[in-house]
Amino acid sequence: MGGNLFKLGRLERLKYLKLEQELSVYLDAEFGEYYRIPKYYRQKPDFGDMDILISSAGMENWDATKAKLIEDLGIEQHKTIGSVLSTVYQDFQVDFFYCNQQDFLSTYHFLSWNDLGNLLGKMFRRFNLKYGEKGLLYVFRRADNHYKKDLLVSQDMRKIIEFLKLSYETWEEGFETLEAIYKWVISSPYFSVQPYLGKDDVRIQKRVRQKRTTVEHFIKFLEENEIEKHYSHLEDKDSYLPDIAAYFPEARLLERIEEERQREAYVNAIKAKFNGKLLMTWLPNLKGKALGSFIQSFKDSIGTEQEFEVLCYELSADKIKARVLEFYEQDFLPPL
């Protein structure tokens, strides 16, 4: 959470390590293998908070677990934001993160080594991929840009890292300093300074300088060392899809994208025959909430969402219109 929620300041390295060791004794007994504290570079001088990830597999439910943590650790000051319980423990901010077991290790990997996950994410975006707490994803977008779906590519950290032609062994062994992290990142042949030093693009500078201290330090590192690496990525990012699919065959990425495109064509065929604008021309008295209520009532009269879709896909536009008008007159129109 950044360590600023309770305005407690930072904790020097030795005191942090002592606190982490103390909490680890409790966490080992309570959660065993189902908790992780993200890794950090070994010469980190101080800390703004401590992040502790807890897997859903290590608890009955999150509310009961939060209550037990608060009681067992004698927590008096705490706040829950989404799936994060932020607490004050020995005058220091300790954040407990609830993680689904499926994404437990991928979240741990992403949050390790400071903002390294974000630095990798910027490189993956050049391939039209998204790297985050759920692992490596391809974001499928329909042509209308109103629908998108994340398709999981991989949660295998070795393969994720080696796709960028970086050393997994170095990542696993860890880093002594921030500079060591930065040097490792820029060793990728796909690294480019453009997302960080695009001085001709004000939007780039505004986006990367979002009070992320590590990212600001990274920019300073690039400037002071006069790093000028560029990689000429293809303008059509989908041109990388065959290579991505070949590298991660277990993801069945091309097949799943084709399934999404078939689904898109199916949905568009339905929308062409049944949509709000059409209904307003058929029933001009229905607008706003009344229109929305009618649409839902009509769908419910058909059955499930799937049954509604099958009906609209199979019937002609004229037959759908006739059925809509019949329902309006017989089942929806209020009595006089």
Model confidence pLDDT, tens digit, residues 43-91: 999 999 999 999 999 999 999 999 999 999 999 999 999 999 999 999 9
Are 277 and 321 in contact by the 8 Å Cβ rule? The answer is no
Rounded-to-integer distance, Cα 99 and Cα 135, Å:
13
Task: Catalogue the E-assigned strands of 84-213.
Answer: 84-89, 92-99, 129-132, 135-141, 148-154
Q: Assess whether pLDDT exceeds 90 at residue 336.
A: no
Residues sharing a CB contact under 8 Å with residue 228, sequence separation 6 or more, in sequence order: 193
Helix (H, G, I), strand (E, B) or coil at 210: coil
294 in the same domain as 227: no
49 and 154 both lie in a single domain: no
The model scores a pTM over 0.85: yes
In this structure, the answer to whether residues 117 and 187 fall within a common structural domain is: yes
The Cβ of residue 238 has, within 10 Å, a number of other Cβ atoms equal to: 12
Last residue of a domain, one of 251, 286, 307: 251
Evaluate if residue 1 carries a pLDDT over 60: no
My answer on whether 295 and 244 are in the same domain is: no
- Per residue in 221-259, pLDDT tens? 999 999 999 888 888 888 999 999 999 999 999 999 999
Domains in the chain, number = 3
pLDDT at 332 over 90: no
Q: Say if residue 149 is in the same domain as residue 66.
A: no
Residue with tokens 């780039």: 204
Helices (H), 209-284: 213-224, 241-247, 253-271, 276-282
The more confidently predicted of residues 275 and 330 is 275
- Which residues in 49-62 are b (16+ Cβ under 10 Å) and which e? bbbbbbbbebbeee
Within 13 A of 93's CA, how many CA atoms are on the CB side?
21
Q: What is the mean pLDDT of the chain?
A: 92
Can you give the pLDDT at residue 201? Answer: 47
Instruction: Verify that 100 and 32 share a domain, yes or no.
Output: yes
Q: What is the extent of the structural domain holding 212? A: 113-251
260 within domain boundaries: no
- Give me the pLDDT at residue 236, please: 86
Domain boundary among the residues 83, 106, 129 is at 106
pLDDT for position 55? 98
Task: Report the CATH number at residue 61.
Answer: 3.30.460.10
Asked which of 106, 139, 169 is the last residue of a domain, the reply is: 106
Contact 96, 54 (CB under 8 A): yes
Whether 126 and 243 map to the same domain: the answer is: yes
- pLDDT value of residue 3: 63
Most confident region among 114-118, 192-196, 254-258, 325-329 by mean pLDDT: 254-258
Centroid of chain to Cα 286: 39
pLDDT confidence tier of residue 142, bands split at 50, 70 and 90: very high
| Confidence category of residue 199, pLDDT binned at 50, 70, 90 | low
Q: What integer pLDDT is reported at residue 314 of this predicted model?
A: 96
* Local confidence band at 194 (pLDDT 50, 70, 90 cut-offs): confident
Q: pLDDT at position 2, please?
A: 59
pLDDT at 5 (0 to 100): 86
